[in-house]
Amino acid sequence: MHKKRSEVVSFLNTLKEQIQNPVVDILIAPSFTLISEAAVVVQNTSFLIGAQNMHEADQGAFTGEVSAEMLQEAGAHFVILGHSERRRLFHETETSLALKVKKAFSKNLLPILCIGETAKEKEDKNIFKILEQQLTTLLQNSSPHKMILAYEPFWAIGSGEIAPPKRIEEIHQFCRKCLASIWGYDYAHATPIIYGGSVTPESVAALSEQANINGVLVGKASLEVSSFIKIINLFSIL
């Protein structure tokens, strides 16, 4: 929940000026009220605009919610589902998220599906079990579909703490094996798996060197356009 209209327009215009013909995919999820404006600003670029959340229903008495079709009409191409802050602050569960994932698939709205463990689960060394349970619940009742998987441990969000890149790589490898067991080898190896959690320009180089870290979900470090551009440029050359 950051940036008013003028700030988003300025951010995107600077991004367009400094990042031309990018060799990486750049996806940006502003607040709901600015999706339409952002989509207009990035016309004729390869940047994609998306949303931070959505409801699983097409319409109905769900005050304060938005549907997949509403997001698409506003210019959204993707939606973030299951972000740790949605889980922690708004008590979203795998059961409700599975419905959102299925709806996004049916509407051809690309989901960025977030999974991750809490600090206690990390301490109890239950990470792999938790991630497998999350993925199974979220995907087992859906057919294979294009998506982006984001490993986003709760304990890393906004903490300034990041797991060692080789440990993240190990977890991403495990997630890919889980995807293969649910939907098959070919699908699993075609799905980008990205990392989110206190990503900074300083941490990107080591992350990008890992074979199964295919990108990053950037939070605080994306609020300043100069910082975001550094991350894009570092991923572009590594």
The residue ranges of every structural domain in the chain are 54-237
User: Looking at residue 218, what is its pLDDT?
Assistant: 96
**211 burial via Cβ count (<10 Å: 0-12, 13-18, 19+):** exposed
Residue 237 has pLDDT above 80, yes or no: no
Q: Torsion over CA of 37, 223, 205 and 230, rounded to 10 degrees? A: 70
pTM of the predicted structure, to 2 decimals: 0.95
Percent of the chain with pLDDT over 70: 99
pLDDT digit string (tens) for 107-142?
999 999 999 998 888 888 889 999 999 999 999 989
Residue 86 has pLDDT above 70, yes or no: yes
Residue 160 has pLDDT above 80, yes or no: no
Provide the terminal-to-terminal Cα distance of the chain, rounded to the nearest Å. Answer: 31
* Domain 54-237 CATH superfamily: Aldolase class I (3.20.20.70)
Looking at the DSSP bridge assignments, the partners of residue 114 are 150
Arithmetic mean of pLDDT over the chain: 95
User: Looking at residue 161, what is its pLDDT?
Assistant: 79
Q: Which helix (H) or strand (E) holds 81?
A: strand 78-81
pLDDT level of residue 238 (50, 70, 90 thresholds): low
- Other CB atoms within 10 Å distance of the CB of residue 194: 21
Q: Which helix (H) or strand (E) holds 144?
A: none
User: Looking at residue 156, what is its pLDDT?
Assistant: 78
pLDDT digit string (tens) for 178-220?
999 999 999 999 999 999 998 999 999 999 999 999 999 999 9
Average pLDDT value for residue range 160-187: 94
Catalytic residue numbers, as ranges: 83, 152
